Structure 1
Amino acid sequence: MQRDPFLQQIDETLLKSLRYMGFVVIFGFILIGTVDFFFESVFSPQDFIFFRARIVAVEIILTGLAFTRWARHPLAMRFIGAGILSTACFGVSYLTYMTGGASSPYWSMMVLAFFGTTVLLRFSLGEAAIIYFVQWLIYNGVMYFTGTDFSRPEFVTSSVAILLALVVSLVGNWQMRALELNKFRAQQELAVANEELKKSVSELAFKKEQAEVKFLQDKLWFAHDLHDTVGSQLAQMSLLAGKTDTRSTTHLAELAKGTLENVRNFAHVLKGEQRVDDLNSQLWKLEQSFRALGRYQVSYVAEAAPGRVSDLALLHVDRILSEWTANVIRHSGADRVAFGTKTRGDAVRIWFYQDAGGFTWRGRAERGGLRSIAMRAQNIGAEVTVRRRGKGAYFVLTVNTGS
């Protein structure tokens, strides 16, 4: 079973404090030993030295256990802490007896032991209450077995003072435990906030990168637009340039005018404006262009009110038709073309028929004009296919209304 993260943090602090407290108690018993010689006592200096040596030896063993791997177990480290504190309190209690009993000032060191334990050891309130009460019982037990008169005011004062220190230490322990818990929660909240901040920064960096990629893609699309639109019209102009009749010359001038208009449209798009013909206007111009070439039988099936699509979709439809008609003029060898629209539900189907150069295409390509058409269709959520019909083919572009 996974231990609570807060208790794990408390255990780590407790283990470090156990080691520190063990060293403090050891050096305390050694350094304060010089005070024993100033007391008038029935015990000899050797008795004091030997007793302190035994206490220090036990403390060294317990402190050494705090450095072993067994001390990492939560229950073991609490037993070690209780052992260090109990040994120290027993030593202080017996030294109190050796230096005059309840009238000796040594018992006040137990008060310091309680306060020091509160500061250093992060026991829970229940653990601290049990351990502190045991120390109070140790003091009273030593006084009892050494024959101290419990009715004397010196003993009552010392016992009550130690009990009062016990209660104050418990309150302090409770407050410090609460502070530790608040600190841990603040650390957890800070860690969560840091993770959220890192996530937000990563998302912002990703969005920035995506925006830069989109900007570069837009520049590439505009280059494709110039190639597809102007290239298609220049192909028609090259065919008309070989003719000298008035009709061809007139249409050649119209194509030049249309090419200039397309370039102007690109400028408007770059400035955030969109001036694109609707579907009927685009197909009517397409009909006029094919008729002016004089080499095709042209049939335009106009729809009274085709579905409404967005200006962005119209811009891409215009480029797709320009790319497709350029391919028809250059490569198909067709003599007859037909085109129109058909609205069904929330979609508009734009179709184009040619009587030669038929093939089947499912809307995917790796390079060339077909790839450009596929990517444009994908950008506006449209579907594009080519189906063979005899020697010819049907080109079908399906655009959702409102897209």
Structure 2
Amino acid sequence: MAPKITVIGTGYLGATHAAAMAELGFEVLGLDISTEKIEMLAAGRVPMYEPGLEDLLRRHVAGFEGSSGRLRFTTSYAEAGEFGDVHFICVNTPQKHGEYACDMSYVDAAVEALAPHLHRPALVVGKSTVPVGSAVRLAARLAELAPAGEGAELAWNPEFLREGFAVEDTLHPDRIVVGVAGERAEKQLREVYATPIGEGSPFIVTDFPTAELVKTSANSFLATKISFINAMAEVCEAADGDVVKLAEAIGHDERIGSKFLRAGIGFGGGCLPKDLRAFMARAGELGADQALTFLREIDSINMRRRGHMVELTREAVGGGFLGKRVAVLGATFKPDSDDVRDSPALNVAGQIHLQGGQVTVYDPKGMENARRLFPTLGYAPTALDAARGADVVLHLTEWREFRDDLDPAELGEVVSERRILDGRNALDPDLWREAGWTYRALGRPRA
């Protein structure tokens, strides 16, 4: 008989995981302490923009025509403990306020609340990104609090979701990593992931510390690659080189590869920056801080790109922002998402606004979240409206709408000056220059 699954925490990770588990054929109960969030999900709506997620949800939440009915939601830990055989913990692990370290309070609270309701053997599976060493501590606490005692086992199964591709990444993962302490946990997780394993997804079994380190190591490597090419962009600007051609040339080396070698204003979001900093903090606690000192420079390069974009904008409008209109295309930290957490685009927009610029922002999906975070910025319903009367246009989030659909000639009719700064190196310079624009991108020659 297939195990019944609970998913604790129904934010971005949890909502996606719950819907995907139902798609794979399991009976699933999603749990959250937020009544508002549970009511929204039960009504077939998701609290964030993620392509394909709402459709997937409605295929399985009871009450929709043709729904499997395999997915329900609750706010009760007692109900979850009674229902589930495998419990996935998908709560948030934000950065501690004023520190680099990870805030484990949500994970700890989930274990403390669930464990007393585990009266029979069960597997609790952590998916949240946590500091190495957390799983050993949580496993002991779980066995201590659960009436089932050692029958309540822990495993760690890090997530590798890319915002904008989360549904695909959950249903067809490029790898499945499980940290386990025994064969029973491994067997149960092989059963849960039988479909993707059968489709060829590698199933990697490790101990707890290795499973915890995989996610932070992967994110640190990606961040290093992004900051490396951005450092090369700084050198290219000083030497009048072209970072796009440089990236193309080194990307042909199979040892390097071409992915994540697009210079720009850097990375942001709710995961990469905070995971990088938490990794450094944890290494310090373990006495291995020297091993990760290079990550401080990676973080520094990344943050420096935002300030550099502000300075390029100041230069473009003649040395000062007072009385200048700046159009910002993009608010989210990446395309195909409505996530504005630590968004480089909004950070640049906010800095220019604070320095006296009249900033108007347009984003295809992130406007509502951006308004909540930066209510004093101007917002427009279209790219054309955002650019109206602008002295300079900034392209700061690589939406396909901007890359493929923007007409430089049409946009040129509404701006005050045809100046564009491409903060993502994603637009076609020739196309914009032919339409009479002064085009500049980070790490590229002026013409």
TM-score between the two structures when normalised by the length of structure 2? 0.22
Look at both structures and tell me which one has the larger radius of gyration over its CA atoms.
Answer: 1
Q: Which has the higher helix share?
A: 1
